[in-house]
């Protein structure tokens, strides 16, 4: 029988209730659960004990069929090694590299034992950041192209190394870490209840997603209940964020293929949506809205009507531009069969969110691990099977439509004007809390472990970009190198959400 | 073809006509105003509520280099001493004027004659994000969209530092990005300007105490223009650049 604690998202458990596996048990069961039960890893996080002699690894797995999270832990002696899970379960590849970087536990036989983000306080011996061990190639027609970290545009930094045969990309390696600001470390300093601003800055394009995932943890740790009204306002903001960023993606794709009507119309529609966010909370990105214990701003009747008006215009105008964009032969010839990721690949490397849904996988935590208000919605995920840039554009269109419906329904529901904010109490010691929120890119998960006197022993953030960067690297294989910008834009991943 | 023309007609003219007079919606938190009202005795609610230590007492003043423009201090103050307005004229060439109190209530942008002479009609900027969270980056991108359309003033963001007249830095300068930031600055021909955008770039913001940040090089450089915000609003940036160019 498996030794796992089964909980529902979001969850809080006393540390003493989490089962402890032996290393061989863990290796066997994780592989078995991933291969045979189809579960996905959320966290595989190591922390050193006070005397630095041992490393406790907390494992959180997501079971999308049973709608549950599985918790367990395993204790290694410091600098220990084990047989890597990746050869049998490739989905673990980055989690194992991160464990090595953060806690120094060595995955023997890992096919790609490199640094993840070269953290400032890394434990694993990774060498210098500027001497990253890129895969190299030799041959008469083989050549390498280095791009970045400063890219041609207003975009975050990251290094791309292409191995090309003529113009064809055979392999792309992405080196990240330039954006590392020590976010997880900062969560451990001072009170865990004062980290709203930090959570809003994990990825500035996913303010609501990360702030909500954090607020849930702070509320669980303090036994704070928030009202339905608060849940509704948070959910409306989350879906507005999804619409706005999907419009950025569509505009960006249109711009990258030189289809300017698309770029300007999607751009204009997005402005209206983020200005609506500003009307709600004073920030175009939703900063200042979500705090542990509630929200700081209400949506009153007048604002309610204004939001409906914006959605009406959006609904009317987006249909027209979609009609044009997705039927123009010159557009389709650039989008279709470009940068394809197969369903098998997507599943093997564990893509999440829109990048899973565009390649035929139904992964959406609003459906499989719903929080609050989403549990009452009978949402159906939109799933496409193309796996190409076209599918990545189309999935955004479908999701915008879905989000508009959700917001309209929540705005239309008569709700009691009950409390918007309650001050959280004392933080529970020696507990673990975990939350999953479906941001616009996909599954966001935060985990916190507290020690004595409400101190924070570990704070772990998993942005969907952590899962999906590998998808981009594989998508461009066998494509012309000139299609890279289009592929990159269609993935639209976060650098700082990954680098933390 | 008809459909395309219809969409174009429907799109209309979206650009903000007079960008110097345009204001964001009233709820936008721009220039803070510190009133002359006396504080309640021994109250430090505003200081305690500030996540970046931007507020100091006696007299109450807010350092906009550190300010995240969050709603916390305004909500915390029992005397309603601090209030954020939607005024976007919050940028300065002299960082001292970014510290707002009842007395000093207006940041000042001074026009450099030489800069004005060279860049007034054409300013090409290179953006460098060094730990920026993509908030400021998205807003800088928005400057070139159909609404703000900064290109009409001859201001553009270019791909190569060789084509640029200056750098707009966003982010607190992460250690891992410090070298690339330095190289980019070096690649720009003289005369060049350095613009800092957003609380992270201006002061390190939330990350100032993080050991993963390296602001050593930045602290030795001459900064030409400071644009506060978290993130910077496109109207703030547009107005700062226009004022700096003396337009």
Closest-CA distance, A129 to chain B, in angstroms, reads 7
Same domain, B137 and B78: no
Q: Are A285 and B134 in contact (CB under 8 A)?
A: no
Q: Are A108 and A81 in contact (CB under 8 A)?
A: yes
Tokens of B69: 């423009």
- What's the ipTM? 0.93
Residue B1 has pLDDT above 80, yes or no: no
**pLDDT at res. A127:** 84
Q: Are B158 and B124 in contact (CB under 8 A)?
A: yes
Residues facing residue B129 across a β-bridge: B170
Place of tokens 């006070």: A50
Of B133, B141, B177, the CB nearest to A154: B141
Q: Tell me, what CATH number does B47's domain have?
A: 3.30.70.20
- Asked whether the beta carbons of residue B175 and residue A120 sit closer than 8 angstroms, the reply is yes
Contacts of A207 in chain B (CB under 8 A): 135
**Farthest CA pair distance, chain A:** 72
How many residues in chain B? 247
Contacts of B147 in chain A (CB under 8 A): 267-268, 271
Say if B206 is an interface residue toward chain A (CB within 8 Å).
yes
**pLDDT at res. A79:** 85
Q: How many domains does chain B have?
A: 2
Task: Return the residue in A159, A282, A315, A316 with the most chain B beta carbons within 10 A, the one to mutate for interface testing.
Answer: A282
Which residues have CB under 8 Å from B61's CB, separation 6+?
B34, B55, B99, B100, B101, B104
Tokens of B143: 């400057």
Contacts of A275 in chain B (CB under 8 A): 24-25
Same domain, B43 and B135: no
Q: Are B69 and B86 in contact (CB under 8 A)?
A: no
Tokens of A482: 């000139």
Say if B171 is an interface residue toward chain A (CB within 8 Å).
yes
Nearest Cα to Cα of residue B137 among B210, B19, B23, B237: B237
Tokens of A140: 């008469």
Say if A19 is an interface residue toward chain B (CB within 8 Å).
no
Q: What value does the mean pLDDT take over residues B183-194?
A: 93
Same domain, B231 and B117: yes
Left if phi > 0, otherwise alpha if psi is -120 to 50, otherwise beta: which for B58? left
Q: What's the helix, strand, coil split of chain A in %, to 5?
A: 45, 20, 35
Can you tell me the distance from the alpha carbon of B104 to that of B26, in angstroms, rounded to the nearest whole number? 23
Predicted confidence (pLDDT) per residue in B95-126, tens digit: 999 999 988 899 999 988 998 999 999 999 99
Q: Are B98 and B107 in contact (CB under 8 A)?
A: yes
**pLDDT at res. A139:** 87
Residue B59 has pLDDT above 60, yes or no: yes
Q: Are A454 and A477 in contact (CB under 8 A)?
A: no
Contacts of B132 in chain A (CB under 8 A): 156, 179, 204, 496
Same domain, B151 and B218: yes
Q: Are A107 and A88 in contact (CB under 8 A)?
A: no
Q: Are A214 and A371 in contact (CB under 8 A)?
A: no
Can you tell me the distance from the alpha carbon of A321 to that of A418, in angstroms, rounded to the nearest whole number? 40
Same domain, B176 and B234: yes
DSSP output for B194-206: EEEESHHHHH-GG
**pLDDT at res. B10:** 87
Can you tell me the distance from the alpha carbon of A223 to that of A294, in angstroms, rounded to the nearest whole number? 13
Quick one: angle between helices A389-412 and A484-491, nearest 10?
A: 20
Quick one: angle between helices B135-142 and B234-244, nearest 10?
A: 60
Say if A281 is an interface residue toward chain B (CB within 8 Å).
yes
Say if A119 is an interface residue toward chain B (CB within 8 Å).
yes
Which residues have CB under 8 Å from A206's CB, separation 6+?
A241, A245, A439, A440, A441, A444, A463, A494, A497
- Asked whether the beta carbons of residue A204 and residue B138 sit closer than 8 angstroms, the reply is yes
Give just the sign of the alpha carbon dihedral B171, B172, B177, B181: positive
Tokens of A312: 């009406």
Between the alpha carbon of residue B228 and those of residues A326, B10, B89, B99, the distances in Å are 40, 35, 10, 11
Closest-CA distance, A19 to chain B, in angstroms, reads 34
Can you tell me the distance from the alpha carbon of A160 to that of A148, in angstroms, rounded to the nearest whole number? 6
Q: Tell me, what CATH number does B187's domain have?
A: 3.40.50.12280
Nearest Cα to Cα of residue B200 among A183, A129, A119: A183
Same domain, B125 and B239: yes
SS3 A379: coil
Same domain, B185 and B132: yes
Quick one: angle between helices A207-221 and A228-256, nearest 10?
A: 150
Say if A485 is an interface residue toward chain B (CB within 8 Å).
no
- Asked whether the beta carbons of residue A205 and residue B134 sit closer than 8 angstroms, the reply is yes
**pLDDT at res. A417:** 65
How many residues in chain A? 500
Can you tell me the distance from the alpha carbon of B21 to that of B235, in angstroms, rounded to the nearest whole number? 10
Same domain, B118 and B74: no
Contacts of A302 in chain B (CB under 8 A): none
DSSP output for chain B: -HHHHHHHHHH---S-S-TTT----TT---SEEE-SPPPPTT--HHHHH-TT--EETTTTEEETTT----SHHHHH-TT--EEE-------BSSGGGGEE-SS------PPPHHHHHHHSS-EEEEEEESS--SHHHHHHHHTTSTTT-GGGGTEEE-S-GGG-SEEEEESS-BGGGHHHHHHHHHTSPSS-EEEEESHHHHH-GGGTT-TTB--HHHHTSPP-EEE--SS--HHHHHHHHHHHTT-
**pLDDT at res. B58:** 85
- Asked whether the beta carbons of residue B146 and residue A264 sit closer than 8 angstroms, the reply is yes
- Asked whether the beta carbons of residue A205 and residue B135 sit closer than 8 angstroms, the reply is yes
Q: Are A498 and A115 in contact (CB under 8 A)?
A: no
- CB < 8 Å from B in window 204-223 of A: 204-205, 207
- CB < 8 Å from B in window 152-211 of A: 152-157, 177-182, 185-186, 189, 194, 196-198, 201-205, 207
Domains A5-116 and A183-458 share a fold: no
Place of tokens 């009452």: A376
- Asked whether the beta carbons of residue A154 and residue B27 sit closer than 8 angstroms, the reply is no
Q: Which residue spans within A51-184 are E strands per DSSP?
A: 54-63, 68-77, 81-83, 106-108, 142-147, 159-165, 168-175
Can you tell me the distance from the alpha carbon of B32 to that of B23, in angstroms, rounded to the nearest whole number? 15
Place of tokens 């309640």: B40
B188 domain-assigned: yes
Say if B134 is an interface residue toward chain A (CB within 8 Å).
yes
Same domain, B126 and B238: yes
Closest-CA distance, A244 to chain B, in angstroms, reads 12
Closest-CA distance, A429 to chain B, in angstroms, reads 24
Same domain, B66 and B138: no
The domain limits of chain A are 5-116, 183-458
CA B169 to chain CA mean position, Å: 10
Can you tell me the distance from the alpha carbon of B123 to that of B141, in angstroms, rounded to the nearest whole number? 16
Can you tell me the distance from the alpha carbon of A306 to that of A280, in angstroms, rounded to the nearest whole number? 10
Each of the 500 residues of chain A gets a pLDDT tens digit; together they read: 568 999 999 999 999 999 999 999 999 999 999 998 889 999 999 998 888 889 999 999 999 999 999 999 999 998 899 999 999 999 999 999 999 999 999 999 999 989 999 998 888 788 888 889 999 888 888 999 999 899 988 999 999 999 999 999 999 999 999 999 999 999 999 899 999 999 999 999 999 999 999 999 999 999 999 988 899 999 999 999 999 999 999 999 999 999 999 999 999 999 999 999 999 999 999 999 999 999 999 998 889 999 999 999 999 999 999 999 999 999 999 999 999 999 999 999 999 999 999 999 999 999 999 998 898 888 888 999 999 999 999 999 999 999 999 999 998 776 666 688 999 999 999 999 999 999 999 999 999 999 998 899 999 999 999 999 999 999 999 999 999 999 999 999 999 999 99
B51 domain-assigned: yes
Q: Are A223 and A439 in contact (CB under 8 A)?
A: no
Give the domain extent around B159.
113-244
Nearest Cα to Cα of residue B68 among B161, B205, B182, B214: B205
| Class for the domain spanning A183-458 | mainly alpha
The helix (H) or strand (E) run that includes residue A43 is strand A40-48
Task: Return the residue in B15, B68, B69, B134 with the most chain A beta carbons within 10 A, the one to mutate for interface testing.
Answer: B134
- Asked whether the beta carbons of residue B28 and residue A320 sit closer than 8 angstroms, the reply is no
Can you tell me the distance from the alpha carbon of A428 to that of A17, in angstroms, rounded to the nearest whole number? 15
| Class for the domain spanning A5-116 | alpha beta
B182 domain-assigned: yes
Burial label, A411 (beta-carbon count in 10 A; 0-12, 13-18, 19+):
middle
DSSP A293: T
Tokens of A97: 């590299």
Buried residues in B152-166 as b, exposed as e (16+ CB within 10 A):
ebebbbeeebeebbb
């Amino acid at each position: 029988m498996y030794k796992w604690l089964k909980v529902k998202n979001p969850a809080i458990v006393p540390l003493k209730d989490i089962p402890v596996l032996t290393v061989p048990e863990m290796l066997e069961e994780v592989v078995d659960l991933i291969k045979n039960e189809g579960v996905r890893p959320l966290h595989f996080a190591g922390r050193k004990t006070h005397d630095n002699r041992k490393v406790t690894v907390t494992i959180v797995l997501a079971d999308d069929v049973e709608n549950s999270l599985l918790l367990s832990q395993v204790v290694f002696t410091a600098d220990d090694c084990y047989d890597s899970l990746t050869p049998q379960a490739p989905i673990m590849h980055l989690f194992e590299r991160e464990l090595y970087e953060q806690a120094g536990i060595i995955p023997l036989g890992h096919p790609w034992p490199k640094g993840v983000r070269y953290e400032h306080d890394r434990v694993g011996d990774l060498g210098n950041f500027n001497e990253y061990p890129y895969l190299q190639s030799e041959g008469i027609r083989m050549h390498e192209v280095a791009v970045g970290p400063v890219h041609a545009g207003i975009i975050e930094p990251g290094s791309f190394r292409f191995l090309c045969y003529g113009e064809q990309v055979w392999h792309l390696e992405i080196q990240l870490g330039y954006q590392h600001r020590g976010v997880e470390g900062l969560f451990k300093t001072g009170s865990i209840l004062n980290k709203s601003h930090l959570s809003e800055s994990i990825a500035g394009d996913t303010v609501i997603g990360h702030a909500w995932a954090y607020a849930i943890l702070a509320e669980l740790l303090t036994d704070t209940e928030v009202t339905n009204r608060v849940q509704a306002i948070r959910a409306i903001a989350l879906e507005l964020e999804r619409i706005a960023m999907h419009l950025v993606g569509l505009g960006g794709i249109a711009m990258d293929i030189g289809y300017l009507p698309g770029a300007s119309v999607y751009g204009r529609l997005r402005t209206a949506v983020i200005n609506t966010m500003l009307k709600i909370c004073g920030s175009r990105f939703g900063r200042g809205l979500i705090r542990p214990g509630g929200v700081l701003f209400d949506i009153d009747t007048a604002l309610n009507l204004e939001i409906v008006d914006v959605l009406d215009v959006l609904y009317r105008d987006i249909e027209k531009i979609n009609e044009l964009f997705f039927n123009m032969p010159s557009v389709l010839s650039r989008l279709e069969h470009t940068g394809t990721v197969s369903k098998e690949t997507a599943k093997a490397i564990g893509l999440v969110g829109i990048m899973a849904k565009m390649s035929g996988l139904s992964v959406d935590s609003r459906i499989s691990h719903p929080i609050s208000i989403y549990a009452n919605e009978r949402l159906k995920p939109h799933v496409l099977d193309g796996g190409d840039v076209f599918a990545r554009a189309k999935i955004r269109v479908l999701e915008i439509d879905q989000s508009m419906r959700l917001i309209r329904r929540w705005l239309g529901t008569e709700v009691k004007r009950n409390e918007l904010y309650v001050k959280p109490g004392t933080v529970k010691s020696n507990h673990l809390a975990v939350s999953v929120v479906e941001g616009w890119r996909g599954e966001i998960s935060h985990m916190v472990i507290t020690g004595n006197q409400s101190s924070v022993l570990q704070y772990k953030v998993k942005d969907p970009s952590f899962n999906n960067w590998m998808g981009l690297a594989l998508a461009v294989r066998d494509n012309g190198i000139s299609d890279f910008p289009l592929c990159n834009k269609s993935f639209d991943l976060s650098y700082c959400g990954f680098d933390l | 073809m008809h459909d395309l023309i219809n969409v174009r007609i429907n799109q209309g003219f979206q650009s903000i006509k007079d960008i110097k007079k345009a204001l964001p919606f009233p709820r936008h938190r721009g220039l803070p105003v510190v009133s002359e009202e006396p504080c309640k005795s021994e109250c430090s609610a505003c200081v305690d509520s500030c996540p970046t230590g931007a507020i100091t007492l006696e007299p109450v003043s807010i350092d906009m280099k550190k300010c995240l423009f969050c709603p916390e201090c305004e909500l915390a103050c029992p005397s309603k001493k601090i209030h954020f307005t939607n005024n976007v004229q919050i940028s300065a060439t002299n960082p001292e004027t970014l510290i707002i109190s009842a007395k000093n209530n207006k940041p000042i942008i001074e026009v450099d004659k030489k800069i004005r002479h060279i860049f007034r009609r054409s300013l090409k900027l290179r953006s460098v994000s060094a730990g920026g969270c993509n908030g400021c980056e998205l807003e800088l991108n928005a400057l070139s969209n159909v609404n703000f359309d900064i290109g009409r003033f001859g201001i553009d963001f270019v791909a190569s530092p060789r084509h640029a007249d200056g750098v707009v830095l966003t982010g607190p300068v992460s250690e891992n990005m410090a070298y690339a930031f330095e190289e980019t600055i070096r690649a720009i021909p003289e005369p060049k300007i350095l613009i800092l955008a957003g609380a992270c770039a201006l002061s390190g913001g939330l990350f100032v105490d993080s050991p993963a940040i390296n602001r050593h090089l930045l602290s030795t450089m001459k900064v030409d223009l400071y644009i506060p915000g978290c993130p910077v609003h496109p109207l703030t940036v547009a107005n700062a650049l226009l004022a700096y160019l003396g337009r």
